[in-house]
Amino acid sequence: MKKKYLISGGSGFIGSNLAKKIVDLGNEVHIIIIPSCNIDLLKGYEENIIFHEYDGTYHSLDNAIKNSKPDVVFHLASVFISQHKPNDVENLISSNILFGTQLVEAMVQNEVYRLINTGTSWQHYHDAAYSPVNLYAATKQSMEDIIKYYYEADKLSALHLKLFDTYGPNDPRPKLMNLLKKAIISGEVLEMSGGDQLIDLVYIDDVVDAFYIASESIFNAKNTNLSYGISSNSPIKLKKIIEIISNVIGRRIPIKWGGKPYKTREVMVPWNTFPRLEGWTPKIGLEDGVKNCFQEII
């Protein structure tokens, strides 16, 4: 049966891949965008997607929900800042808490009760029930706590997917794979930490599958509020990841280990006591994922 989905953050890397999968499955997709939004990642799918503009007001989100009447809302939009500065605070709060709260309020006011929310494994520093690695992770927990209120007061059903490190082809974000690619192409030495931290990399197709499986399972759940870790189940030391990538592409990567210090509250061992999403398991191994990401270099 054809379903209707609304995605916040649908123009981003994960959201755009999710939107394209849902369209390909024959469903109706709505995406919330801001006026300055770049939709290049949705190229070729624009005519199959209905866009709703968010102008910073609750009213615009109320209109988006009212006009789309989605069966499920995916909330992926957020601002990620690893180590914030004082002038980043307003942006983090506005994007990660105010926007999300307006969205959920608009949902319950329009009797839309199924939400897939995006969290982060960084809400669980040192494997704690809750200990934020940084302010970004604290805003993610704040949004989760706000959703709990709507779950208890307004019949909202929510599933929270807490992501680890995600990667894949055509990822514009300044993350590990892109940094390595630039170093290989330019030949410039990339300064990195000691490289002993364990990294949990999950390929984009697997991440998208997790969101879709969660959206299917929420139809069978009534008034639920549960969290799951979306993990490769095989975290690997950063040094080992670089070795694997180097072997796959057949090229040496110019890296200076210990060239910069570990971050404050560096995650040396990822969260590993998370509940697992039933029906989902990662399928793309690191070597295959690397081949897909570095096709133009191999």
Question: pLDDT per residue over 94-149, tens digit each?
Answer: 999 999 999 999 999 999 999 999 999 999 999 999 999 999 999 999 999 999 99
Domain boundaries, the chain: 4-166+201-230, 168-200+234-270+283-293
Task: Tell me whether the CATH fold assigned to 4-166+201-230 matches the one assigned to 168-200+234-270+283-293.
Answer: no
CATH number assigned to the domain with residue range 4-166+201-230, chosen from the 4 options 1.10.287.80, 3.40.50.920, 3.40.50.720, 3.10.129.10: 3.40.50.720
What distance in Å separates the CA atoms of residue 46 and residue 4, rounded to the nearest whole number?
16
For residue 156, give the nearest of 228, 75, 76, 64 by alpha carbon. 75
* CATH code for the part of the protein at 168-200+234-270+283-293: 3.90.25.10
Query: Per residue in 246-278, pLDDT tens?
Result: 999 999 999 999 999 999 999 999 999 999 999
Pair 230, 163: CB distance under 8 Å: yes
What distance in Å separates the CA atoms of residue 251 and residue 298, rounded to the nearest whole number?
8
Reply yes or no on whether the pLDDT at 298 is more than 80.
no
Residue with tokens 């959201």: 15
pTM: 0.97
Categorize the per-residue pLDDT at 1 as very low, low, confident or very high, splitting at 50, 70 and 90. Answer: confident
